[in-house]
């Protein structure tokens, strides 16, 4: 099989034109082509009047070695690499020490799934509810302003990524192609085949719900166990070695291999782990607002006359500005054709996030516009100081929004002018349970407000109309990533001071998004399996 990269065609090409372009690149006749498939498809929209689709193709041809030798000078043609996943271990018969996985976000699900596929029969514990019950609780906040602190956007089966755009791409280094395994498992669970080849795949919340259920059923079928409403109160430790976990109801589950995939919002768990002596340190994260624009405006600015084309779909963007006060301002978690959602997990606080369905056909585009902050400058001292900083601004947003879980909001033009908003313009807010128009200048640190005010006109130069006066800011966005890193050994992937504890995923500071969290879950599952086998070998 040959891999042919950089095959470029106009946006409205036919399947036959794609085949002919492949034949031309290989300089072979149709009779010499056995079959071909699309490995990746992206687009180049730098020339809006002539947008190109860019393909990587896999082709089976006659006399492959001869063709490859003849085209050896073309760096875009090579043998198709083998990226199929290979399991690192399998569980021995009679294994009694079952690994425990805490959390059922993408990281915990994939750690549990891989351990189950290797025969280790994991016990998976989730403080929240199963995904459909959890969805009902989440709607309770969105529709009624009623927050369930143990079942919400942050807690429950599927993790925070369930109520998001379902983005399945990442910029992580992935030399073992573990991301391919993640996508394959998602397709098996019901995701569309296209996520295997489009450049920026996404799924959307409704599809993620059924996929998560399918993955859970697979884990159980393979001998694993998944338990909901099972909050881990503390680790059971003996001289720096994990020997199990204790649940909030007092139940103790023995295990010398515990995967900690708790997500970035399990604040009470972070504090308990710190009290128990697990090493952790503060890490950088970002603060900001959600901004909404008409999706049609973003489409037109990005795609010009091709706006609305079904292959391109709703346009996204990625922006960054280095402000004169030394702060970096950037767009984060852009959700085309989506909604701004309430993402609080603690009473008396307001948090925003973004979400899209698979169709991405809502009227507004939204993204977080955030400012990077660091522990050295902005929250020095205690390893958990970042959590307290998040809480401070989430509480302020709750207060400024009217103390009803409505979010404070302000039109962009008024934000730049430094005056409160009193009425909406053309952008109708999508946030539920609703927004309260006000002045957002008190909802973030002064340095963040100053940097964002400087960035918006700069972003308008990159995307025409981005600085429109009627664009709407909604606050606050504080959960861009975990404010904590639970440091682990680079080789064993265990906590650097707690043997048998495997910090994993976004909450531990080692992932950011669904795909990277799934990849980290696979890495952790491999490390747990190899650790178990090593200990059995030593014991023999």
CATH of the domain at 225: 3.50.50.60
Structural domain includes residue 296 = yes
What is the number of structural domains in the chain? 3
Is residue 197 domain-shared with residue 179, that is, in the same domain? yes
On whether the CB atoms of residues 131 and 125 are closer than 8 A, the answer is no
Query: What is the model's pLDDT at position 239?
Result: 96
Q: Encode burial over 8-18: b for 16+ CB neighbours within 10 A, e otherwise.
A: eeeeeeeeeeb
Q: Cα separation of 475 and 278, whole Å? A: 33
Ramachandran quadrant class, 466 (left: phi over 0; alpha: psi -120 to 50; beta: rest): alpha
Beta strands (DSSP E) in 323-363 are: 328-335, 339-342, 352-355
Greatest pairwise CA separation for the chain in angstroms: 74
Q: Is 165 a residue whose pLDDT tops 80? A: no
| Domain contains 86 | no
pLDDT of residue 163: 83
Task: For residue 66, give the CATH number of its domain.
Answer: 3.30.70.2700
Residue 353 has pLDDT above 80, yes or no: yes
What average pLDDT does range 67-74 have in this prediction? Answer: 97
Residue 90 lies in a domain: no
**Average pLDDT for 349-368:** 94
The rounded percent of the chain whose pLDDT value lies above 70 is 100
Per-residue pLDDT band at 149 (split at 50, 70, 90)? very high
Q: Which domain holds residue 358?
A: 284-477
- Do residues 513 and 538 lie in contact, with contact meaning Cβ atoms separated by under 8 Å? no
pLDDT tens track for 191-217: 999 999 998 898 877 788 899 999 999
pLDDT at 332 > cutoff 80: yes
Side-chain-side CA neighbours of 109 within 13 Å: the count stands at 31
Average the pLDDT over 106-130 and give the result. 97
| Shared-domain flag, residues 240 and 294 | no
Residues 296 and 411 in one domain: yes
Q: Is 456 found in the same domain as 512?
A: no
57 and 132 together in one domain: no
322 phi and psi angles, rounded to 5 deg:
-100, 105
Both tokens of 58, joined, read 């896999």
- Residue 221 lies inside a defined structural domain of this protein: yes
Peptide bond before residue 433 is cis, with ω within 30 degrees of 0: yes
* pLDDT above 90 as % of the chain: 93
Residues 464-490, mean pLDDT to the nearest whole number? 97
Do 212 and 239 sit in the same domain of this protein? yes
Are 303 and 394 part of one and the same domain? yes
Q: Which of 461, 477, 493 is the last residue of a domain?
A: 477
Beta-ladder partners of 122: none
Q: Is residue 200 part of a domain?
A: yes
How many angstroms separate the Cα of 190 from the Cα of each of 182, 186, 496?
13, 6, 38
Q: Give the span between the Cα atoms of 357 and 430, in whole angstroms.
A: 14
Residue 164, pLDDT > 80, answer: no
pLDDT of residue 81: 95
31 has pLDDT over 90: yes
Q: What is the pLDDT of residues 58-70, one digit of tens each?
A: 999 999 999 999 9
In the predicted structure, residue 20 carries a pLDDT above the cut 90 = yes
Tokens of 224: 């694993």
Residue 282 CA: distances (Å) to CA of 85, 374, 378, 507: 34, 9, 11, 12
Task: Cite the beta strand spans of 263-377 per DSSP E.
Answer: 281-282, 285-294, 320-322, 328-335, 339-342, 352-355, 364-373
Residues 26 and 146 in one domain: no
Residue 529: Cβ within 10 Å count? 22
State whether 362 and 504 are in the same domain. no
Q: Say yes or no to pLDDT of 47 above 90.
A: yes
User: Are 15 and 134 in the same domain?
Assistant: no
User: What distance in Å separates the CA atoms of residue 349 and residue 531, rounded to the nearest whole number?
Assistant: 41
Same domain, 406 and 473: yes
Distance CA 436, CA 422 (A): 9
Residue 91 inside a domain? The answer is no
Of 477, 502, 526, which closes a domain? 477
Assessment of whether the complete model's pTM goes beyond 0.85: yes
User: Does residue 147 have a pLDDT over 90?
Assistant: yes
Residues 441, 475 contacting (CB under 8 angstroms): no
Alpha-carbon dihedral angle through residues 85, 89, 90, 92, given to the nearest 10 degrees: 180
- For the chain, how far is it from start to end, CA to CA, in angstroms? 45
Query: What pLDDT band is residue 394 in, cutting at 50, 70 and 90?
Result: very high
* DSSP code per residue over 146-176: ---TTSSSSSSTT-GGGGS--B-------TT
Tell me: do 145 and 254 sit in the same domain: yes
Q: DSSP assignment of 437-481, as one string?
A: E--GGGSS-HHHHHHHHHHHHHHHHHSTTTT-TT-EEEEEE--SS
pLDDT in tens, 407-433: 999 999 999 999 999 999 999 999 999
Q: Give the confidence band of 169 by pLDDT, cuts at 50, 70, 90.
A: confident
Where among 430, 456, 477 does a domain terminate?
477
Has residue 67 been placed in a domain? Answer: yes
Residue 98 binned pLDDT confidence (cut-offs 50, 70, 90)? very high
Instruction: Give the bridge partners for 252, in sequence order.
Output: 246
Instruction: Write the pLDDT tens digit of every residue in 232-284.
Output: 999 999 999 999 999 999 999 999 999 999 999 999 999 999 999 999 999 99
* Mean of all residue pLDDT scores within the chain: 96
CA dist., res. 80 & res. 4, Å (int): 8
Q: What pLDDT was estimated at residue 167?
A: 84
- Quote the CA–CA distance of 339 and 349 in Å, as a whole number: 19
Is residue 213 one of the residues assigned to a domain? yes
Mean of the pLDDT values across residues 471-499? 97
Query: CA-CA distance, 86 to 102, in Å (whole number)?
Result: 25
354 has a pLDDT exceeding 80: yes
Q: Using CA atoms in the order 88, 90, 96, 101, what is the torsion angle rounded to 10 degrees?
A: 50
The pLDDT of 450-456, averaged and rounded, is 98
Query: What angle do the packed helices 106-117 and 205-221 form, to 10 degrees?
Result: 30
Is the distance from CB of 401 to CB of 408 less than 8 angstroms?
yes
Residue 492 has pLDDT above 90, yes or no: yes
Q: Which residues pair with 395 in a beta bridge?
A: none
């Amino acid at each position: 099989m040959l891999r042919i990269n950089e095959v470029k065609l106009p946006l409205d090409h036919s399947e036959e034109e794609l085949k002919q372009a492949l034949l031309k690149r290989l300089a072979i006749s149709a009779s010499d082509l056995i079959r071909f498939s699309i490995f990746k498809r992206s687009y180049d929209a730098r020339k809006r009047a002539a947008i190109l689709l860019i393909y990587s193709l896999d082709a089976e041809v006659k006399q492959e070695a001869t063709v490859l030798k003849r085209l050896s000078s073309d760096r875009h043609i090579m043998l198709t690499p083998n990226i199929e996943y290979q399991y690192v271990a399998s569980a021995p018969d009679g294994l009694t020490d079952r690994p425990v996985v805490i959390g059922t976000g993408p990281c915990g699900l994939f750690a549990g799934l891989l351990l189950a596929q290797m025969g280790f029969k994991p016990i998976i514990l989730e403080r929240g509810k199963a995904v459909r019950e959890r969805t009902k609780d989440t709607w309770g906040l969105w529709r009624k302003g009623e927050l369930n602190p143990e079942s919400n956007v942050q807690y429950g089966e599927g993790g925070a990524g369930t109520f998001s755009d379902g983005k399945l791409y990442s910029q992580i280094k992935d030399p073992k192609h573990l991301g391919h395994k993640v996508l394959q498992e998602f397709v098996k669970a019901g995701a569309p085949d296209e996520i295997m080849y489009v450049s920026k795949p996404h799924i959307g919340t409704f599809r993620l719900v059924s996929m998560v259920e399918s993955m859970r059923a697979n884990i159980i079928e393979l001998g694993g166990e998944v338990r909901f409403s099972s909050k881990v109160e503390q680790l059971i430790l003996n001289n720096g070695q994990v020997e199990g976990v204790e649940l909030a109801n007092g139940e103790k589950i023995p295990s010398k291999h515990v995967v900690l995939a708790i997500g970035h919002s399990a604040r009470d768990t972070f504090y308990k782990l710190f009290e128990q002596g697990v090493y952790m340190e503060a890490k950088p994260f970002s603060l900001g607002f959600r901004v909404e624009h008409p999706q049609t405006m973003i489409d037109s600015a990005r795609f010009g006359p091709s706006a609305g084309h079904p292959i391109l779909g709703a346009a996204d963007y990625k922006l960054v500005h280095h402000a004169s006060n030394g702060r970096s301002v950037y767009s984060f978690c852009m959700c085309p054709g989506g909604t701004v959602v309430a993402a609080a997990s603690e009473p008396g606080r307001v948090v925003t996030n973004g979400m899209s369905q698979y169709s991405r056909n809502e009227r507004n585009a939204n993204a977080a516009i955030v400012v990077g902050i660091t522990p050295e400058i902005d929250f020095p001292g205690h390893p958990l100081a970042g959590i307290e900083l998040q809480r401070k601004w989430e509480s302020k947003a709750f207060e400024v929004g009217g103390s009803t879980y409505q979010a404070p909001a302000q039109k962009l033009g008024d934000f730049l002018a430094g005056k409160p908003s009193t009425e909406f313009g053309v952008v109708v807010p999508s946030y539920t349970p609703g927004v309260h128009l006000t002045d957002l200048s008190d909802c973030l640190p002064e340095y963040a407000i100053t940097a964002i005010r400087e960035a918006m006109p700069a972003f308008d130069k990159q995307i025409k109309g981005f600085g429109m006066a009627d664009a709407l800011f909604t606050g606050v966005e504080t959960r861009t990533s975990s404010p904590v890193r639970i440091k682990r050994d680079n080789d064993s992937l265990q906590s650097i001071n707690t043997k048998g504890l495997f910090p994993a995923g976004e909450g531990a500071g080692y992932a950011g998004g669904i795909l990277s969290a799934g990849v980290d879950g696979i890495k952790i599952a491999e490390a747990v399996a190899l650790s178990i086998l090593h200990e059995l070998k030593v014991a023999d």
